[in-house]
Structure 1
Amino acid sequence: MNTYLRILSFARPLRNFAPKYFIYSIFYSFFSVFRLVLLIPVLNILFNTVQNNNIVKEKPEFEIGTRYFEDLFNFYLHHYIDTYGKFSALIFVCAVVFIAVLMASLFRYLSDVILQTLAANLYLNLRATIFNKINSLHIGFIKNGQKGDLMSRMNNDLGEIGSSIISSMTVIFREPIMIVAYFIGLFYISTNLTLMAILVLPLSGGMIASIAKRLKKQAKDSQETAGRITVIMDETLTGMRVIKAFNANKYIINKFNKETTRLRDLMVGLARRKELASPISEFMGVAIILGIVLYGGNLILDNNSPLDGATFISFIALFSQVLTPAKNISKSLTNIQRGLAAGERIFEIIDTESDIKEKSNAVSLNNFEESIEFKKVSFGYNEELVLKNIDLKIPKGKSVALVGASGSGKSTLADLVPRFYDTLSGELAIDGLPINDYTLESLRKHMGIVTQDSILFNDTIFNNIAFGVENPNPEDVKRAAKIANAHEFISETENGYDSMVGEGGSKLSGGQRQRISIARAVFKNPDILILDEATSALDSKSEKLVQDALNKLMQNRTSIVIAHRLSTIQHVDEILVMDRGEIKERGKHEELIQKDGIYKKLIEMQSL
């Protein structure tokens, strides 16, 4: 119940929808019953069974109650019969039925529009909440989570939730109103027949509720399996080159088929349970109708019974309509269970606490004035330390290079500066104040980052360079591209700076993508520059040109450079040699060569 109420809260503002939906449902129910009750006078006219005790010769005075409306209708009906004849009276009744059907259709349409609008609002608010949440979570969550599963939750699970809400609203409002309205009509026609029907209905409802209750676990399993399939598809499309190179097509196809087969089995199981509800409700409904036919037929055959043929046929027609909302409720219960399972998966994301939290009294870092300082900083994933007791001070305008074997902690150390992660112990400060005391936006505003994997977005080259900036100056964009040695190839593209780069920059080469990434950092003109193997994807010619541009960009700018090619960082103010999360050596290039330590061995290995 809590999950359902949470889902419903995202359809806000609910007060704009629920009252209208409730009112429209009442009118729809009224006219739906009214049109069927009108069968009685139609049949009486056709079969010439109009009874004298039903004739109302004078127009009744208004009073609250069904008796007034019944007498008013009978007055006009018999007035038509006496004045214009039975055929004209039949036309009159048919016209009233036509109007009732028209009004019922109108109010059903209005209620359905309200319902779809509510569902659209729910999609909008829930999707925005999930997207905002994912953007607010720490990078570790995205790395540890499976991208395909997250995408499946945002798309497939949201679809299940939408259908669940639509089903639930019909269950809560319209269908119960319909059933109540029908039973009011049934009681009006014959109390005895209606009581007989009511005694049997709970059996059908109990069986359907039992089926729906078992659907939730199966629905959650199917949604998780669908998420794994999305992961496999995403990995396949991303790693197609590797799959083909290693002849792993059969392996990946078998893996995919295994999950899709499991999903098929789960979906078949779900379908069996889901589709069982409707036949059960239909079977029970027909069984009840047959019982009513036998009981009512016996009453009609008894000449002393007040029940006549026309009234009995109208009762059967009206009761048969009860089956429709009853079947809809049975189907809705199964959809609701699937929606609740999807909702739990969605709320797992929404309820995830970010490891990176901003203090309520955080201050803005308006200007970077002094230094970045690590004081006994340690960090690790789970229980394994990746950084151990790091002591480091980087004065403003100075450059530091981090070198070492893969897994030594270089990128992790750099990721602490923009607070992609928080330290486990020790303190990381900027201008003497712990970075936790700054707002995240003001902290990251001073930083530009170029990663080893060039990340581009499916947009124009211009918008990728000026990423995150509203109304950028075109000249500044071109200047940044020229510094990054990107202007020449950009100008040669079909639409220049307005050319689309494709998904992930697929329309560009690796070197071109990296130069666009560098241009993005140049355009931001940050106080602190983090280069994570920024030239690794460039050819020799481009690397030299870009490295010269980066050297100029790094002048008088605080820079943290992670480099695999040690020849590119010999000009920095200090080189830190990292090994297993610790700083083992530090100094300038010449000093480290003379030490005959780890750095010199790395240089010699690259010289081979």
Structure 2
Amino acid sequence: MKTFKRLLQYATPLHHYLPEYLIYTIIGIIFGLVNFSALIPLLDLLFNQTNAQEAAKNLVQPHFEFSVYYFIDLFKYHLSTYIVQDKMHALYFVGMFIACCTILANFGRYMSARVIVRLRMTMLKRVRNDLYTKLTEQSLSFYHDKKKGEILTIMASDVQEIESNVVNSIQVFLRDPFIIIAYFIALFFMSTKLTLFTIWYFPLSGFIISYISKKLKQKGHFSQSLLGRVLSIFEESIGGIRIIQAFGAKKFMQNKFGSANQEFIDVSRSMYNQRELASPITEILSVSVILILILYGGSLVIGENPIMSGAVFMTYLVFYSQILQPAKNISTAITTIQKGLVSSERIFDVLDAPVTIQEKPNADAIKDFNNEIVYDNINFSYEQQPVLKNVNLTIKKGQIIALVGRSGAGKSTMADLLPRFYDVQGGAVKIDGHDVRDLKVEDLRSLMGVVSQQAILFNDSVFNNIAFGYPDANKEEVIRAAKIANAHEFIEQLENGYDTNIGDGGMKLSGGQRQRLTIARAVFKNPPIMILDEATSALDTESEKLVQGALDKLMESRTSIVIAHRLSTIQYASEIIVMEKGEIVERGNHQELLANGGIYRRLVEMQEFK
């Protein structure tokens, strides 16, 4: 119930929906009732013509009063007028009356459905927006713990479950109880004795459905978790299809996926079988109660002392049949909503996940970088594993600092601490004397541009990728950035130039072209601090030369932190920092470090040997 209430908050304010919905629902119910009520005089007219005609002669026009009886008597009066004149006219009158009531009843149902559609779309839009906002605000550590497939399942499948199960159930809970209540009032009005006799059906049905629902919710959690695993394997396989085929691992991955998929299917089959059980059980109970109703009600009509006419009893059966479908809807909704609530809980788990990178309430603004970056006695661990230990480093404005060392030495972590992708556990990272944790996150990151080893681009045009985050970008500035990044020439040769769509992840471009676009993006942002994380390591020699030339232009008059495995690309650095197991073990320029004959010299000689 707590999850359901929280989910309903996404439809607030409810007064935008409920009053309008209830009005249209009541219109649909009232005219539906009136519609079926017209069956009584119609049946009397068709099957009891003599009595109907005699009764018609004795009716007089009723005096107005706001009550159900007045409208019933008014209808009978007009009908009697037609019966006396011509029975066919009376038949046409009842037929037209039923047709008008049907139109109005369906108008009410349609308009109420439109209100629910509006509520549905509002809820889904807000849920998706909140999920996306939360995911874009999360720190990188969140994505180390969550599989991409699981996140995609939550964003796609779980949100869809809310639409197909929870929102549909809300519609049932808002509409069908009113239908049942209205028809029960009419049934009591027609025969209290008969209605009391059949009322046992509802608590019995509710008890059975409640039991099924509890079982269903338990399996729902497991089912969605398994779906996340299936999608995760699927996503990994698409991304690694070259490796799967190169290593002859197609059968292995097919078996792995098939096993996970079979487990998901088995749990889902069991869950859906239980869910579908609600409908036939309700159907069996419905037929049983109708049969009992016919037997018992028939005795009230054809017994020695009949207390109901045949027409009334036939109409009573029609009314009762109108209750059974809403009752069935409610019982089905109680079971289906459980799966939707499981999905809601998974969504709220993501929305409630703490964001480890928090901005202080009164964070300081920073618009410029003027003096220096200081790593002051930094310590950082990830999952209890030390990554950086007592690191001290000062980077003056305009310097190019290169970080080198074996994989796992802590180079990328050093760079990630500066824009607060992670926060240190000990010491402080400072910019112009300000601890980065005391600054506004958006201001801090606006001072930096990042070019990583993997060229991360978006399925959009060349122009929008370069001007990423700047919807009002000037085309001349975009072209200038592309020229600095040695990208303008190949962009001009594309089919639509700067308006060419580059495909998913820039797959329509070569590796060197993609990397030059990321450099152009960094140039366009024009930040005072650049972070280059092995920006050329994945390129061939020709592409590396072009990209390196673009990087040299990019770093002109900027403070840069360069992480490199190819040591030939960082010989010009102001200072080279050699890291080993999270510590700085050597520092100096290229010539000084070669002369020292330490780790750096060995790394250089190894690469020259290759």
TM class by shorter-chain length?
A: over 0.9
Q: Give RMSD over aligned pairs.
A: 1.5
Query: Does residue 58 of structure 1 match 2:60?
Result: yes
Query: Does residue 463 of structure 1 match 2:460?
Result: no
Contact 2:512–2:547 (8 Å) recurs in 1: no
Contact 2:378–2:428 (8 Å) recurs in 1: yes
Secondary structure of 1:531's partner? strand
Contact 1:119–1:165 (8 Å) recurs in 2: no
CA positional deviation for 1:58: 2.1
CA positional deviation for 1:305: 2.1
Distance of 1:490 and 1:78 partners within structure 2: 85
**Aligned residues, how many?**
607
> Which residue number corresponds to residue 76 of structure 1?
78
Secondary structure of 1:127's partner? helix
Distance of 1:438 and 1:480 partners within structure 2: 29
Compare 450-459 and 31-40 and name the one that shifted more. 31-40
Distance of 2:404 and 2:171 partners within structure 1: 64
> Which residue number corresponds to residue 607 of structure 1?
608
> Which residue number corresponds to residue 547 of structure 1?
548
Compare 404-413 and 213-222 and name the one that shifted more. 213-222
> Which residue number corresponds to residue 12 of structure 1?
12
> Which residue number corresponds to residue 90 of structure 1?
91
> Which residue number corresponds to residue 42 of structure 1?
42
**Counterpart of 1:12 in structure 2: which amino acid?**
T
Secondary structure of 1:397's partner? coil
User: Which structure 1 residue ranges, 4+ long, deviate > 4 Å from structure 2?
Assistant: 51-56
**Counterpart of 1:72 in structure 2: which amino acid?**
L
> Which residue number corresponds to residue 563 of structure 2?
562
Contact 2:173–2:330 (8 Å) recurs in 1: no
Structure 1 residues 536, 60: CA separation in 2 closer, same or farther (over 3 Å shift)? same
List gaps (5 residues or longer) in structure 2.
none
Contact 2:380–2:424 (8 Å) recurs in 1: yes
Distance of 2:234 and 2:7 partners within structure 1: 29
Secondary structure of 1:578's partner? strand
Contact 1:38–1:97 (8 Å) recurs in 2: yes
> Which residue number corresponds to residue 486 of structure 1?
487
Contact 1:8–1:165 (8 Å) recurs in 2: no
Distance of 1:201 and 1:130 partners within structure 2: 39
Write out aligned runs for 1:507-518 (5 A): 507-518=508-519
Compare 340-349 and 585-594 and name the one that shifted more. 585-594
> Which residue number corresponds to residue 21 of structure 1?
21
CA positional deviation for 1:186: 0.9
Distance of 1:127 and 1:578 partners within structure 2: 43
CA positional deviation for 1:352: 0.7
CA positional deviation for 1:451: 0.3
**Counterpart of 1:19 in structure 2: which amino acid?**
P
Distance of 1:374 and 1:228 partners within structure 2: 40
Contact 2:404–2:565 (8 Å) recurs in 1: yes
Write out aligned runs for 1:389-404 (5 A): 389-404=390-405
Contact 1:37–1:185 (8 Å) recurs in 2: no
> Which residue number corresponds to residue 382 of structure 2?
381
Contact 2:209–2:335 (8 Å) recurs in 1: no
Distance of 2:254 and 2:581 partners within structure 1: 38
Write out aligned runs for 1:152-191 (5 A): 152-191=153-192
> Which residue number corresponds to residue 222 of structure 1?
223
CA positional deviation for 1:178: 0.5
Compare 374-383 and 213-222 and name the one that shifted more. 213-222
Compare 306-315 and 448-457 and name the one that shifted more. 306-315
**Counterpart of 1:210 in structure 2: which amino acid?**
Y
What is the TM-score with the length of structure 2 in the denominator? Answer: 0.97
What is the TM-score with the length of structure 1 in the denominator? Answer: 0.97
Secondary structure of 1:586's partner? strand
Distance of 1:166 and 1:355 partners within structure 2: 33
**Counterpart of 2:117 in structure 1: which amino acid?**
Q
CA positional deviation for 1:53: 6.5
> Which residue number corresponds to residue 444 of structure 1?
445
**Counterpart of 1:534 in structure 2: which amino acid?**
A
Distance of 2:285 and 2:56 partners within structure 1: 35
CA positional deviation for 1:303: 3.9
CA positional deviation for 1:497: 1.6
Write out aligned runs for 1:78-477 (5 A): 78-82=80-84, 84-477=85-478
Compare 249-258 and 478-487 and name the one that shifted more. 478-487
Secondary structure of 2:200's partner? helix
> Which residue number corresponds to residue 2 of structure 1?
2
**Counterpart of 1:47 in structure 2: which amino acid?**
F
CA positional deviation for 1:543: 2.2
Secondary structure of 2:11's partner? coil
> Which residue number corresponds to residue 573 of structure 1?
574
> Which residue number corresponds to residue 526 of structure 1?
527
Q: C-alpha deviations, 1:456-498, integer Å up to 9, x for none?
A: 1001112111111132222222222222222222222211221
CA positional deviation for 1:429: 0.7
Contact 2:461–2:500 (8 Å) recurs in 1: yes
Distance of 1:338 and 1:350 partners within structure 2: 19
CA positional deviation for 1:335: 1.8
CA positional deviation for 1:55: 6.6
Secondary structure of 1:387's partner? strand
Secondary structure of 2:532's partner? strand
CA positional deviation for 1:449: 0.6
List gaps (5 residues or longer) in structure 1.
none
Distance of 1:502 and 1:545 partners within structure 2: 22
Q: C-alpha deviations, 1:12-67, integer Å up to 9, x for none?
A: 33221111111111111111222112111111000125466687622222223322
Contact 1:465–1:477 (8 Å) recurs in 2: yes
Contact 2:373–2:394 (8 Å) recurs in 1: yes
Contact 2:34–2:101 (8 Å) recurs in 1: yes
Distance of 1:404 and 1:325 partners within structure 2: 70
**Counterpart of 2:42 in structure 1: which amino acid?**
V
Distance of 2:57 and 2:147 partners within structure 1: 75
Structure 1 residues 341, 54: CA separation in 2 closer, same or farther (over 3 Å shift)? farther
CA positional deviation for 1:369: 0.8
